[in-house]
Amino acid sequence: MKIMPLERRGISDSRLALGCMGLGGSWNQTETYTAEHVRQAEAAIEAALSIGITFYDHADIYTRGKAESVFGEVLKKQSKLREHIVIQSKVGIQLADEALPGRFNFSKEHILPSVDGILERLGTEYIDILLLHRPDPLMEPEDIAEAFTQLKRSGKVRNFGVSNMSPGQIRFLQRELPDPIVVNQLEMSLLRHDWVDHGIHVNQKAGLKDNFPEGLMEMMQMEHIQIQAWGPLAQGRFSGKVTENATEAEIKTSALVQQLAEENETTPEAIVLGWLMKHPARIQPVIGTVNPERILACRDAVRQSERMTREQWYTLLVSARGVNMP
C-alpha cells in the first residue's frame, strides 16, 4: 500500500491532522483564555487521540497565540503526551494593528523570535515541523535558509515546510534550504476542487479560468512533499450545515454524500474526507473543528477512502462541479 510522504520520511503516520485554530477563545487581543478554554482543548485532543489522530497543526497567530497556550496547558497536565504526538506550527503572518495593515514577514529577524514564542506558549523544547505561513513577496531564500539552519542546529525545529505555495515558489526556496521541504498546506475539499479541475481542463477552454498552480500536484508527488488539506470538511456544507447561499450543486452533493453515508453505514464527514484521501497523492486532511462530536464523526475516513470506488469518487466530483466531465 502506498504510504504518506510524511510516513516515508519517518515523521508521522497519522492520516488525519487536527487543526487547532479554534482553540483558545476569541481573536480579541485584550481577552485571555480561561480554564474552560483549556477544558475545551483537552476534550478536542482526547477525541482526536481516540480515533488515531497524533498530528496537531498550529500557527503563531491562531487566536493571537492563545491556541498554542491552551494546548501547552494540556501538555503540562499530561507530561507523557508530547512524545507520542507530532506538533506543527506556522510563522510569517503579521496581523493588522492600529498602525499597520496585515502583512507577511519571512525575514530571519521575524522567524527566529516567532519560533521562540511558539515554544514558550506550547511549553515544549521543539516542534516537529515549521511552516512558512503563505508566500511573502519579499522573501529572500538565503535569509530563510540562515534562520532554518539556526533552528535546526539548536534543536528547536526538526523539519520545515510551506503553505499555499506554487511549484516555482517551492523551488525558489528549496534551492537555498539545507533541508527538504516536507509539507505544502493548501485549501482542498469536495467544495474547493480546483486542484482536480486544473488537471482535467488541460487543452480545454474551461482551463482558461483555472487558478490552481500548473503542475503543483504532480511536483509534490514526485518530490515526496506531503500535501495537507486545510478546510477539508468545507465548513460542513456537505455534512449537515444549512447555508442560505448554497448552490444547486452543493444541495445535490450534500444529498449524495448523505446517501453514500447511509449505504456505507458511516458519517457524511467520513465520506467527504474519504473522497479527498482516495487521491493517489495520499493527502492528509487537517480537520478544523474542535467539537469532539464532529472529530469523532471523522473516525471512519480512512476506511471509506479505501472502500470508495472510482465510480463513487467521480460521481461525487461531477456533482460538486455542477457540470459533466469534458
How many Cα neighbours within 13 Å face the side chain of 65? 15
Cα 259 to Cα 237: distance, rounded to the nearest angstrom: 15
Which residue carries 519579499 as its cell? Answer: 138
Number of separate helices (H) and strands (E) present in the chain: 13, 10
Measured in whole angstroms, the distance separating CA 265 from the mean position of its chain's CA atoms is 27
Q: Residue 88 carries which side chain, given as an amino acid letter?
A: Q
Cα 201 to Cα 325: distance, rounded to the nearest angstrom: 9
Cα 289 to Cα 92: distance, rounded to the nearest angstrom: 23
121, 45, 115, 119: which is closest to 85 by C-alpha?
45
Cell numbers that stand for 229 in this block: 488539506
Alpha-carbon distances of 187 from 18, 248, 264, 286, rounded to whole Å? 15, 22, 27, 10
Q: Are 132 and 94 in contact (CB under 8 A)?
A: no
Cα 219 to Cα 24: distance, rounded to the nearest angstrom: 36
The residues with which 159 forms a beta bridge, in sequence order, are: 129
Q: Residue 161 carries which side chain, given as an amino acid letter?
A: G
- DSSP three-state, residue 286: strand
Cell numbers that stand for 3 in this block: 504510504
Helices marked H in 78-181 — which ranges? 108-122, 141-154, 167-174
Cα 133 to Cα 185: distance, rounded to the nearest angstrom: 9
Q: Which of 56, 62, 126, 314 is catalytic?
A: 62
User: Residues 172, 116, 53, 135: what is their CA dihedral angle, to the nearest 10 degrees?
Assistant: -30
Q: Judge whether 314 counts as a catalytic residue.
A: no
Active site residues: 62
